[in-house]
Structure 1
Amino acid sequence: MTKTLTFDEIMQLPSRYRANLINKVSGFKSANLIGTKSKSGQTNLAVFNSVVHIGANPPYLGFILRPTTVERHTYENIKETGVYTINQITTAIHKQAHQTSAKYEREISEFDAVGLAEHYYQDFHAPFVAESHIKIGLSFQEEQLIQCNNTRLVIGKIEHLILPESVILDDGDVILENLDTVAIAGLYNYYKPELLGKYEYMKP
């Protein structure tokens, strides 16, 4: 039996049920930790499943930030310092990564709270996650307010890309499955992806 829901019926669902359902039906997403540090030196770490490719020339990544009607330490630190890091989550740290979604007070560093180590590269202000196999340092470029629900698309330029050279193929492809990378579906579910095939650039 197939279940069919209209927009109005979706909006009438209990809020937590609706959140689980709509977050899950869009499928698997990348699993990342965003690291920031305030000007005063307070670090912050938060799990995000909304990091997206914006462009490669020049190299930009984006992520969706929920409405700023409450404190958003990640966003506030990015706007204050102009830099942040994106760190891919592995199976080894996925439980710790998920724990960063808890609402810690500003003066508590999620790095310390969940037992992950800060890693710094050169003079880049924002902390990387030492345990992550792909670490990306970005500088804030712009944000777009999405009017329909007051979320924001935050776009950053890749300043530093750190990953094992052994997983980069001759064509620039990256063997993610060799890096223990995980994916997220929904709000609480973590998965280990499996390569089904690699295909050529297609033409008509």
Structure 2
Amino acid sequence: MTNIGTEEIYQLEKYYRVSLINSLIGYRALNLLGTSSADGITNLCLISSVFHLGANPPLIGLVLRPQREHNDTLKNIISTGQYTLNNVLPYWYMQAHQTSASYPSGVSEFDACGIKKQYIKDFKAPFVGQSTVRIGLEFKEVIDIEINGTSIVIGEVVHILAEDGLIGADGTIDHGKAETMTVAGLDTYYLPQPIGQLAYAKPGVEPHILKTDVEF
């Protein structure tokens, strides 16, 4: 068994350490974060730090890296109060990956990477036209993390745009049918495979499958 301790971790070659630590927790949600400046200049970045915070009110959090001069994302979120999260699909995931490049401030990754913008009435931030699951959020709070200079952004879900047939009778989104991709590490992409949906867990009740998508 490999056992890498604290001292060894800090002695690892920089990019090896970054890849190792980023891939440790396995598959993560993958989204494109769409924003617009107050002047209407759009911005798009790939993000894998999105997490559920609660359903009432419907809150989603995400972590943004330390701000740099050319990074418009957090500035746009705060200035307009609106942003979008959009799933990534296999046939254009390389274009999505390219949005992580360090484009200069004021350059729209939508345009630079060939990704379609989609707007809805009375909502400033652009959605991704090629996505099958899109979320519109209103900015609620930012929490600065002193230990590494990152920020946690919390938003309330105000729009859910899903292609027909993706939301089940119980409200669950079928991300397999939606072709939603995941990521492990910085740049290795996966298509998740559904195994089965289990009944709500209760003490003294054995777990049982409500439905399964894979035969064992």
Please report the TM-score for the alignment, with normalisation by the length of structure 2.
Answer: 0.91
The Cα of 1:110 is off from its aligned counterpart by 0.5
1:122 alignment partner AA: K
CA–CA distance in 2 between the matches of 1:202 and 1:44? 41
1:142 alignment partner AA: E
CA contact under 8 A between 2:50 and 2:62: conserved in structure 1? yes
Deviations 1:68-100 (A, max 9, x none): 254421111111111111001111221100000
The alignment status of 1:187 with 2:186, answered yes or no, reads: yes
Aligned to 2:152: 153
Deviations 1:18-75 (A, max 9, x none): 1100010111001100000101111100000111111111101111111125442111
Aligned to 1:81: 80
Aligned to 1:62: 61
CA–CA distance in 2 between the matches of 1:40 and 1:54? 31
CA–CA distance in 2 between the matches of 1:159 and 1:50? 20
CA contact under 8 A between 2:82 and 2:125: conserved in structure 1? yes
How many residues align? The count is 203
CA–CA distance in 2 between the matches of 1:102 and 1:150? 20
The Cα of 1:9 is off from its aligned counterpart by 1.5
Q: Which moved more, 1:35-44 or 1:165-174?
A: 165-174
**Identity across aligned pairs (percent)?**
43
CA–CA distance in 1 between the matches of 2:40 and 2:68? 24
CA–CA distance in 2 between the matches of 1:119 and 1:42? 14
2:59 alignment partner AA: Y
CA–CA distance in 2 between the matches of 1:136 and 1:46? 15
1:4 alignment partner AA: N
2:143 alignment partner AA: Q
Aligned to 2:197: 198
**Alignment RMSD (CA, Å):** 1.1
CA–CA distance in 2 between the matches of 1:183 and 1:128? 19
Unaligned runs of 5+ residues in structure 1 are none
CA–CA distance in 2 between the matches of 1:61 and 1:108? 27
- Counterparts of residues 9-28 of structure 1 (less than 5 Å): 9-28=8-27
The alignment status of 1:118 with 2:113, answered yes or no, reads: no
The alignment status of 1:31 with 2:30, answered yes or no, reads: yes
Q: Which moved more, 1:182-191 or 1:8-17?
A: 8-17
Aligned to 2:213: none
2:100 alignment partner AA: S
CA–CA distance in 1 between the matches of 2:68 and 2:34? 21
Deviations 1:88-145 (A, max 9, x none): 1111221100000001112221111111111001120000000011111111100112
Deviations 1:139-191 (A, max 9, x none): 11001122221211110011111002412111111111001110000000000
Aligned to 2:43: 44
CA contact under 8 A between 2:69 and 2:105: conserved in structure 1? no
Secondary structure, counterpart of 1:55 in structure 2: strand
The structure having more radius of gyration, on CA atoms, is: 2
CA contact under 8 A between 2:110 and 2:117: conserved in structure 1? yes
Secondary structure, counterpart of 1:60 in structure 2: strand
Aligned to 1:94: 93
